Structure 1
Amino acid sequence: MCGRISCHMCRPDYRKAASYFDESRGLYVQPDWIDVPNNGLSYSPSTNMAPTDVLPVLISKEHEQTDDELSQRIIKPMMWGMIPPWHKGEYKSHGLTTNNCRIESLMESRLYGKPLRNGQRCVIGCQGFYEWQTTKGKGQPKQPYFIKASQKCEADPVEELDSWEKAVWDETAGWSGPQLLMMAGLFDVWTSPEGEQMFSFTIITMESNSSFSWLHHRIPAVLDSDEMVAKWLDHKQISAVAAVRLLHPVTSLTWHPVSMLVNNSRNKDSNCNKPIDPQKPKPVNKIMDSWLKRGAPPSADAKFPKKPKEN
């Protein structure tokens, strides 16, 4: 599954990183960025994005009803977590968990089947996603990991914002920086009772393969080449059934353990996706440290900080 994402590049850097080779022009192209009202919500870069946050999403320009000349791929900020089209009321109050959709039941799903059949396929590009190890025994704390696409060059780590800011782009050579992790998804447009449209999306998941199952039994449908991205977005030439058959668990991923900071979705610390050593002793509790220095036990009503809640 996928319940937390890191995507903290600014708009210009994101467009460069999401660029693609346009064979008709013989040049690299940055996707056009098209903002939509989305109930006043907008993309705010963060290392710890959760469902109901807004992320940049790639779709085909064929979904745009306009005479404007656009790039073949366009970027639209959308809310993570598909809003059911039949929902009435406040956009977050439908009560369903829709940030992920299972590939096994896509075609039959009341919520996801129609967008799939209508060709509303999208790609979520990001620095990576987080997963909590679920294969340990009960009662043991779940260690969070940051998962990213395997990189051609590890000299500029994905999790370092500077790696994206200093990279260069030009239309003949393309993007020189880190590679985005591309995940297959579906999107839909919901109309509020007031008549305002909101774009929202879900990420497709499947059973993990042997290289990832040690961490979690589900994995997002990762598109590990630009050819795969192009095929997934091409709803005119590739049918829904054929597109779904393209999806498979990939092995081109790397990961590292991260701090429990990411457990709280409100924590937007830039260190959320940085690697840590899980074996390294954690900082001493301040109350306990004070007690040790005084040589006396703390009072019975001393309040120890609670363990962060795992969302």
Structure 2
Amino acid sequence: MCGRYTITVTLDELLLRYDISYNYSARYSPKYNVAPGQLIMAVIHDGEKNKLGELRWGLIPEWAKDDKSAYQMLNARAETLADKPAFRKPLERKRCLIPADSFYEWKGTGKQKQPMRIMLRSQEVFSIAGLYDTWVSPEGNRISTCTVITTAANELVADIHDRMPVILTKESEALWLDRSIKDVAVLRPLLQPYPTDDMLAYPVSSRVGNVRNDDKSCIEQIALLL
């Protein structure tokens, strides 16, 4: 499961990275401990250009009777996307990018768990593959939500956890966002583990286990405790 990540760049850097030229007006600040249930930054393509906006992490399918499914759909397994009713239609027409510059996983079992920060060796922003949907509550409120797609862990992450988020290459981002592409056979090859040699991981403070902690100390490297 992917349950925490970071996006620590400035808004200007984020807009430049995704070739977004308009003045984004919603609130944005670097986040060092993004958690499920929060509003998160996401990129979609409207048919003409990339757009940056907020989605709530935890997918609610448009056909759901209530919002109770959100915390059960934080992640979506790449291997079974086309088989799950909640993900089948979003896979065809509602795909998004979730900008991040690292994600956290916990190494070890029981009480002896060491949080690890995992990132690209280049330390650049990367795109997690996501799906989104819009649900209308019984009161008429429109809620746009998303889920993070996961795949089998690469060799680096496998030493920490058996799953990892799908990190798209820059070259595949436009294909993932292209609404005209609905063939799952075309999309499936994109959902692979990211190359091990291009990633690194290091231990961080247990403070990241508390969602209220969201500052630079969350990403500071510490000595491995295990």
| TM-score using structure 1 length | 0.66
In structure 2, C-alpha distance between the alignment counterparts of 1:94 and 1:205, rounded to whole Å: 18
Q: Distance in 1 between matches of 2:137 and 2:52?
A: 22
Aligned letter for 2:20? Q
Query: Please, which runs of 5 or more residues in structure 1 have no aligned partner?
Result: 20-28, 37-41, 63-69, 152-157, 159-178, 281-311
* 8 Å Cα contact 1:261/1:269 also seen in 2: no
Q: Distance in 2 between matches of 1:141 and 1:214?
A: 15
Secondary structure at 2:158's aligned position in 1?
coil
For residue 124 of structure 1, what is the aligned residue in structure 2? 98
1:111 pairs with 2:96: no
Verify: 1:13 aligned to 2:24, yes or no: no
Task: Report the secondary structure of 1:111's partner residue.
Answer: helix
After superposition, the Cα gap between the structure-2 partners of 1:12 and 1:221, relative to the gap in structure 1 and judged at 3 Å, is same
**Larger relative helix fraction:** 2
Q: Over the residues paired in the alignment, what is the CA RMSD in angstroms? A: 2.4
Q: Which amino acid aligns with 2:178?
A: D
The correspondence of residues 59-208 of structure 1 with structure 2, limited to 5 A, is 59-62=44-47, 72-89=49-66, 91=67, 93-94=68-69, 96-117=71-92, 119-133=93-107, 136=108, 138-139=109-110, 141-151=112-122, 158=123, 179-208=124-153
1:86-130 Cα deviation digits (max 9, x unpaired) = 3345x4x4464211101111101011112112x211111112111
Alignment check: 8 A CA contact 2:104 2:116 kept: yes
How far did residue 32 of structure 1 move? 4.0
- Going from structure 1 to structure 2, the CA distance change for 1:51 and 1:229 (only over 3 Å counts) comes to same
- Partners of 2:53 and 2:216 lie apart in 1 by 24
Q: Which residue of 2 aligns with 1:228?
A: 172
TM-score with structure 2 length normalisation? 0.88
State the alpha-carbon separation in 1 of the partners of residues 181 and 88 from structure 2.
Answer: 19
Q: Distance in 1 between matches of 2:166 and 2:223?
A: 28
| CA 56–31 in structure 1, closer or farther in 2 if over 3 Å, else same | farther
Contact kept, 8 Å, 1:106 with 1:112, in 2: the verdict is: yes
Distance 1:202 1:95, change over 3 A: closer
Aligned to 2:20: 30
Report the secondary structure of 1:183's partner residue.
strand
Determine the structure 2 residue equivalent to 1:209. 154
Matched residue, 1:3: 3
Q: Deviations 1:216-268 (Å, cap 9, x if unpaired)?
A: 111111113x2111111123146233112222111222111100000111212
Offset at 1:31? 5.0
Query: How many pairs are equivalent?
Result: 224
Structure-1 residue corresponding to 2:42: 57
Q: 2:185 aligns with which of 218, 241, 250?
A: 241
Cα distance change, pair 109–232 in 1 and its aligned pair in 2 (3 A)? same
C-alpha contact (below 8 Å) 2:156/2:200 kept by paired residues: no
Same amino acid, percent of matched pairs? 32
Query: 5+ residue gaps in structure 2?
Result: none
For 1:130, what is the secondary structure of its paired residue?
Answer: strand
One-letter code aligned to 2:6: S
Q: What corresponds to 1:293 in structure 2?
A: none
